[in-house]
Structure 1
Amino acid sequence: MAAAPRWRERLFALYFLSHIPVTLLIDLQPLLPAGIHPPALAELLQWYTAAFRDPLMLQPPEWFKAFIYCEAFLQLPFFPVAGYAFLKGGCKWIRTPAIIYSTHVATTLLPILAHILFHDFSKSEHSGPQTQRERLTLLSIYLPYLLVPLLILYTMLRNPHYNQADKRKRK
């Protein structure tokens, strides 16, 4: 059976491996007490939230914090495992964990994207995107974290290499 195209496996490996420093250095900041991160990282987060008008990362609501906890305790340990599997290529054992991961992430991204698109930030205490252009710009930051997992899910479900049944001899 044909394996998944190597470009796709390399994309998945890059996605997972690049996610490790982003999670550790940026995404987990809202969960930790102020002053734990080096000033340069705190300033990077401040710049990002101002430049892209992302109130979710500056003062995350409790539902968003729950997603960050999931990222910290469920997804982060999976990133190096998945990065290895896709970098090596052809690892069929990654199928079920990748399906679980991609389904989980796609599910968490739907309320995030809906919040960005439909929340009335003019009534919020924290400045969020006000114009359609600002909403679409912020959406473009989050959208790859939906699209890549959907591509992973599609690959795991539809590619014959990952989708073939285990054919063991029965006695």
Structure 2
Amino acid sequence: MFLRALEIIFFFYFLSHIPISLMIDLQPLFPVHLYPSKLKNLLHWYAAEFKDPMMMAPPVWFKSFVFCEALVQLPFFPIAAYAFMKGGCKWIRTPAIIYSVHVATTLIPILSHILFNDFTLATHPGPQTLQERLTLVSIYAPYLIIPIMILFTMLFSSTYNSTSTKGNASSKSKKLR
């Protein structure tokens, strides 16, 4: 029951990530004219409201993470959404481990940048107060927390991390021959 609840959370995480990536996250990679004004306005509102200058004038290192999101993560989102909607798909284990480690690793420098960077000279307003920094961290935090939950589920759930006794018996018999 608990595992199924996690799978549903993972399903919605991946499903919701598809439009968020396409409409918002990938905007810094592509020319401005490719996006309709409503989506550009949404990005500008988000960046101003939550003081996220990385989305308006991304540093090169941040742009490289967005590039990885477009090239590696985005194609994985519908596959993962399907696997977790269906539930118990053992084949998703290795790709989910790779995804979760990759995303968690990228979130460490992003969160560090938000918490410790001096944004006073930034072209676009960045967080200045601790409250503003924590608010922006709270926007990015689910993209660290959920991948860690996915990683632990893939590593420690008997559903995703089990080897069949039949497979073990046949490999043992092969070794004895």
Partners in 2 of 1:8 and 1:30 — Cα distance?
A: 32
Match of 1:133 in 2: 131
- Deviation, 1:126, is 2.8
8 Å CA contact 1:4, 1:155 repeated in 2: no
Provide the identity percentage: 61
In the alignment, structure 1 residue 74 sits paired with structure 2 residue 68 = no
**Runs of 4+, deviation exceeding 3 Å:** none
The SS at the match of 2:51 is coil
Partners in 2 of 1:93 and 1:136 — Cα distance?
A: 37
Task: Point out the structure with max Rg over C-alpha.
Answer: 2
Gap runs ≥5 in structure 1:
none
RCO greater where, 1 or 2, for CA within 8 Å and sep 6 or more? 1
TM-score between the two structures when normalised by the length of structure 1: 0.95
Residue type matched to 1:146 in 2?
A: L
Change (3 A) 1:100 1:4: farther
Partners in 1 of 2:116 and 2:79 — Cα distance?
A: 36
The SS at the match of 2:159 is helix
Partners in 2 of 1:4 and 1:161 — Cα distance?
A: 12
Partners in 1 of 2:33 and 2:27 — Cα distance?
A: 10
Partners in 2 of 1:55 and 1:133 — Cα distance?
A: 16
Match of 2:102 among 101, 104, 110: 104
Match of 2:22 in 1: 24
Which deviations, in whole Å up to 9, do the C-alpha atoms of 1:111-161 show, x marking residues without a partner?
000000000111333320010000000000000000000000000001111
RMSD: 1.2
Partners in 1 of 2:122 and 2:50 — Cα distance?
A: 16
Change (3 A) 1:137 1:83: same
Number of aligned residue pairs: give it. Answer: 169
TM-score between the two structures when normalised by the length of structure 2: 0.92
In the alignment, structure 1 residue 147 sits paired with structure 2 residue 145 = yes
Partners in 1 of 2:110 and 2:95 — Cα distance?
A: 23
